[in-house]
Structure 1
């Protein structure tokens, strides 16, 4: 226990320094789905029983910080940066589009089963089952990255819950063209331009692998202490 004490103290200090984000779940968006997700986000954390599931280290982009898409991209520029990889993908002909997942059944299954593990963790068995029809909740949008031939290379499920938006799933075929960076930056840009939402959430930092933490950071996500309300 004594060997873990310095790590616990550092974690406590880091948590104390986190900025606070007030995330609002709004029932008028889609009552049943919003209640379900609010319950999931605010249930007790599986390891830290004294805190809520998605409260500590929530990975957020504060969309209100940016006056434009270009200002956001400027904030993530640099060598081996999120902006660099997104620009590379765009230069190679990849495009981000809103999709109907039912038009890409085979491609989605290919993406879901393309790797046995990601970020050092085995893929859940649910990814191996081929889904032949996707129902769509009215407060969700689905985005895909298409290559120049029109093939789906990556996709994301994005939930709109109130004053914030959250990635529910973000997955792609592994390549070095920057397609995941392109998809995230394009979605962030659209949200900034909409002037409707305060935050974009990509799960949390503390439960993510080092590689996934680095990916989030290069795209502008920062750790927050989230406080949730249901309206």
Structure 2
């Protein structure tokens, strides 16, 4: 949401999603006269919000990682030309587009307004950053305290990041079909329950008519959740 210019707290966004689920659930139940259909529609809203948020965050972090090598290259050039840390932050912030450039501009602003080097570098270690920039922040902090050449560190970091990006692209291509299948399989049961409950009001009635039916329904839900968690765990490949 911050990426599209909408500033809000996590609590307010969660309240908005819960309110949307409540409205859709109550409205769906009233229109279809099937409470199960309303619940399924509310779960569909939650699933859609989760998929959209996760996809947007992954794209944002991917764009940041793609911009890191150029930013490191620019930093190395600035240090080689004898520029100060403030000048380097300003130059890289102006030359780099997207979220990475915003981070460098924020760090430069802190230095301009009297902030310490530690405060400026902490910008790259927040939740809106990526591990590659956090490593550079730590390296810059050590270099600021002990002195020494930063060019070799930045060049080595850039080569490492470029290698990780290449591996990440390969993994993304190889797991794209499996991730799409996992999303479809995860959401489809909820959609089918909503559709069948809309067509047949008493579609899930037999499950609630006896203890055995409720037990079977609980087992089915538990197996579905376990399958989703297992698939997500198998597809979660991190480049360390």
Q: TM-score range by the shorter chain?
A: under 0.3
- Structure that is richer in helix per residue: 2
Larger radius of gyration between Structure 1 and Structure 2 = 2
Larger RCO (CA within 8 A; separation ≥ 6): 1
TM-score under structure 1 length normalisation: 0.21
TM-score under structure 2 length normalisation: 0.20
